[in-house]
Chain A
Amino acid sequence: MAPPPTPLAKLENITFWYEDASSAPPVLENVDLTIEAGEFLGIIGPNGGGKTTLLRILLGQCTPQRGTVQVMGARPEKARARIGYVPQVGAVDPSVPATAFDVVLMGRLSRTPWGFRYGSEHKDAAHEALRLTGTESYTHRPISSLSGGQRQRVLIARALAADARLLLLDEPTTGVDLSRKRDLLDLLHRLNERMTIVMVSHDVHVVCHHLRRIALVNRTLSLYSPGAITPEDFVKTFLGVCNFHADTAGPAGLGVREAGVAAE
């Protein structure tokens, strides 16, 4: 896909606070961020730092009190149909009697909101999305029988089925074991060839070793490129700011150590 001349998303001087906590400091303050088409941006920061709020602003679920947001040249609500949102695994209720195919088909709902079943073009799109994410074998399995990591892939397939140009992922590596984590990142890099990706993560190492550009969000936003900063620098930077504590027990250089984040 040839990148359009304008950036895919542009946030200018955003300030946002939750209305029911107006006395508290803003969740995000004077945030500028430009996301170019085709990039893979990692968003990292402490709990309560505003990572998820930033995603919600891109989705148009939160409207900042100050500043402007443009996604694909429009207000985020208008662009929603072309944004794939992959929530944390817990967002989908596994006790609902549905197969992985049903979940993926949900990505087509805005195109065909009426009726009892999805038409064949929508089913084809769902099958294609399952194939691209390597989850064809789960197609007819009930979601209750899938593991967390498998369900995560199905949610990515759902976003793909929506023909998303922008993929937003909220903590996709939480609770996923190491080898699956690597598979997941391989998959995301493959998908990055066809869409722009923004991934929120707690996982300093995943972000530093696998992504091209990193945004540190802790009320304000600062951008880093992975070459210029190592995970250790990140953790050190955080230590003074927000109680990051790194588990340094693992062998150095593996790039798989976890950085835990304590609640503020």
Chain B
Amino acid sequence: MIDFFRDMSSNPFLLTGLLAGLLASVACGIVGPYVVTRRIVFLAAAIAHMAVGGVGAAIFAATMFPGTFGWLAPIHGAAISSVAGAVLLSIVHHRVREQLDTLIGALWAIGMAIGIVLIKFTPGYHTELMSYLFGNIVFVSPGDVWLMAGIDLVIVVVALLYHKRFLALCLDAEQAQLQGIGLLSTNMVLLVLVALTVICLTQVVGLILVIALLSLPAATASRFVPRLAGIIWVSIALNAFLTVIPRAAVYGLPVSPEPAIVIAAAAVYVLATVARFLRPRGR
């Protein structure tokens, strides 16, 4: 682990990777607790998997029509499709109460299927899709770091403005509506934040494992902290720990850092759950 921090001065990728992890921690540290409290973990997972369709579409368009779409990077496709998916799912979530789980599952699978089909149709061998699916914290570019910083800024500002509404929505949506809060618009804002967080986390753990960092640290924090605002702070700190320490711990070992991060997040969650269970009842 010491090697990781020692080599950081000579290897700029270690520094950008570290920054990417910390920036992603802010995004999912803020958005994760809302997702867990509002019980939309699977909506969030569907948004992440719909981003795969966007990655495939971007690679396909950039390769087949280099004149028009040559500038299109996979991350752009992921951003467009996940934000569009968030808007679509918030409308579906609002209109259709019954069989929502079926619709989530369908959109989840359709997003991935479109991505895979489009990659198959794209000439050449494309490893980009794999790095979006499984993350690539080892080779994060400075451009990605700036993008993540921009996304963080948006998430922080929106969360500061909307926190009371989000909490009200979680507690009692009907009362929130009576208080003049638009359910559709507030839900949509929350899901768009989820989509932006997905874009951030793609760099760190990949689309498939996004859901681990979105839900596990927030769920761990909620084992010990009684208020949502407090859970957000603890969750940011926990995410920062989880994106840096496991990454440094497997440095130099033949282990991918991305799954190491997720396994560490799961281990912390299990430990927290056991600790909560063993603690005597009554506060």
Name A's B-contacting residues (CB within 8 A).
59, 61, 80-81, 83, 85, 87, 91-93, 96-99, 102-103, 105-107, 109-110, 112-118, 142, 145, 158, 162
Contacts and interface: CB of A to CB of B under 8 A. Distances in A.
B160 A115 contact: yes
A142 B226 contact: yes
A98 B227 contact: yes
A99 B171 contact: no
B276 to A, nearest CB: 13
Interface string B34-54: 000100000000000000000
Interface of B: 33, 37, 159-165, 167-168, 170-172, 174-176, 178-181, 222, 225-231, 283
B175 A91 contact: yes
Given A91-B174, A113-B164, A80 B180 contact: yes
Contact of B178 (A59, A105, A116, A142): A59
B166 to A, nearest CB: 10
| Closest 3 pairs (CB-CB, A-B) | A110-B179, A109-B179, A142-B226
A87 B176 CA distance: 12
Contacts of A59: 178
A85 B178 contact: yes
Contacts, number: 95
A96 B228 contact: yes
B201 to A, nearest CB: 22
A113 B180 contact: yes
Given A92-B171, A110-B180, 7 more contacts: A61-B178, A85-B175, A92-B175, A98-B226, A99-B227, A106-B168, A114-B162
B85 to A, nearest CB: 26
B186 to A, nearest CB: 10
A109 B222 CA distance: 24
A107 B180 CA distance: 11
B225 A92 contact: no
Contacts of A97: 33, 37, 222, 225-228, 230-231
